[in-house]
């Protein structure tokens, strides 16, 4: 078994390519890999991300940022031993605004990223999502659950793009013997989230800091499990450094209602905001919590950052971003 954090010793990988590396999650992944001594090539077209997320890395030895749309031809010179495919709109606001681009990056983009891994003889890791489970009828969701997805609903462009990407990843594993892995990432939060990305935590934080009503969908009884970005990245790298093919759930097993989440944000910001209820989006999942037995058993991974600590750090970062 490989180490579950590449910081714990000599780097497992020498050169990693991160598609979507200037995004929220991808930029934190670049941070962690570089801290371990792994050279990183970050590919991003900045459609839903920003070069500002990796600006602090531009002068670091071993880091290279290339503006690149992975649905076009992808070429990276020299040896590569890890390809992490994170390019995709990830928030409902983004993929509802960019449905075709979302489908293309999940299909053509995954094809090109897998082709790069095949060419280089590299390990490939697909960033899949808890959205592959749809509005689940099994709770919590184990990796063996096939999901309950509406393929023609508004969320289908993201859900089915990721489900296709998983199938394509497995096809490359069985047909071309590419060393692949799939991680299904559950709700993640932390610094560098966009205030306007439409996801619950940054939306609630912005509303609370403005003193505006905090808008909760439905009656707020739907549940989510949220994991701080540092823990999510640590889990992703643990899977990359292992021999697990996946899929592997990466997320917090601690569950709360959306109403509770909003109440925590209001309290943590010291806001006087009231909570208003708005209609739930179409196909909004009623429950969402990962069964993390696999990653705990095989890699000894579990979240370490408490919800209160992670929320305070996120609020501080988002408040600072508002003032820039």
Active site members:
158
Please name the helix (run of DSSP H) or strand (run of DSSP E) that holds residue 37, with its range, or none. none
| Torsion-angle region of 89 (φ positive above 0: left; ψ -120 to 50: alpha; else: beta) | beta
**Hunting for tokens 């001594």 — which residue is that?**
37
DSSP, collapsed to helix, strand or coil, labels residue 11 as coil
| Sign of the alpha-carbon dihedral angle for 69, 71, 74, 80 | positive
CA distances from 115 to 29, 82, 226, 260, 262 (A): 21, 12, 33, 44, 43
| Sign of the alpha-carbon dihedral angle for 188, 191, 197, 201 | positive
Phi and psi for 282 in degrees, rounded to 5? Answer: -65, 135
- Encoded tokens for 255: 């569950």
- Encoded tokens for 184: 């299904």
CA distances from 143 to 122, 146, 182, 185, 266 (A): 24, 8, 10, 11, 34
Is-contact 131 158, C-beta < 8 A? yes
């Amino acid at each position: 078994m490989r180490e579950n954090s590449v910081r714990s010793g000599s780097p497992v990988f020498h050169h990693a390519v991160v598609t979507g590396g200037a995004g929220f999650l991808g930029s934190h992944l670049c941070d962690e890999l570089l801290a371990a001594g792994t050279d990183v090539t970050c590919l991003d077209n900045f459609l839903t991300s920003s070069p500002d997320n990796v600006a602090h890395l531009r002068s670091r030895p071993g880091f290279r940022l290339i503006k690149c749309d992975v649905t076009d031809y992808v070429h990276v010179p020299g040896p590569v031993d890890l390809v992490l495919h994170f390019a995709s709109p990830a928030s409902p606001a983004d993929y509802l605004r960019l449905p075709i681009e979302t489908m293309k990056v999940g299909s053509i983009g995954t094809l090109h990223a897998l082709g790069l891994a095949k060419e280089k003889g590299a390990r490939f890791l697909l960033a899949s999502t808890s959205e592959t489970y749809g509005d689940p009828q099994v709770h919590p969701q184990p990796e063996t659950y096939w999901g309950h997805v509406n393929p023609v609903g508004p969320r289908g462009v993201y859900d089915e793009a990721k489900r296709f990407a998983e199938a394509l990843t497995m096809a490359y594993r069985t047909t071309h013997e590419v060393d692949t892995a799939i991680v299904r990432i559950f709700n993640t939060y932390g610094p560098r989230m966009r205030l306007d990305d439409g996801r619950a935590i940054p939306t609630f934080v912005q509303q609370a800091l403005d003193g505006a009503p905090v808008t909760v969908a439905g009656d707020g009884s739907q549940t989510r499990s949220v994991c701080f970005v540092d823990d999510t990245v640590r889990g992703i790298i643990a899977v990359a450094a292992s021999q697990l093919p996946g899929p592997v759930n990466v997320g917090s097993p601690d569950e709360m209602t959306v109403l509770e989440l909003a109440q925590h944000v209001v309290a943590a910001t010291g806001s006087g905001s009231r909570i208003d209820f708005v209609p739930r989006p179409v196909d909004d999942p009623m429950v969402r919590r990962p069964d993390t037995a696999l990653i705990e058993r095989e890699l000894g991974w579990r979240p370490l950052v408490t919800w209160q600590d992670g929320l305070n750090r996120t609020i501080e970062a988002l408040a600072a971003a508002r003032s820039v």
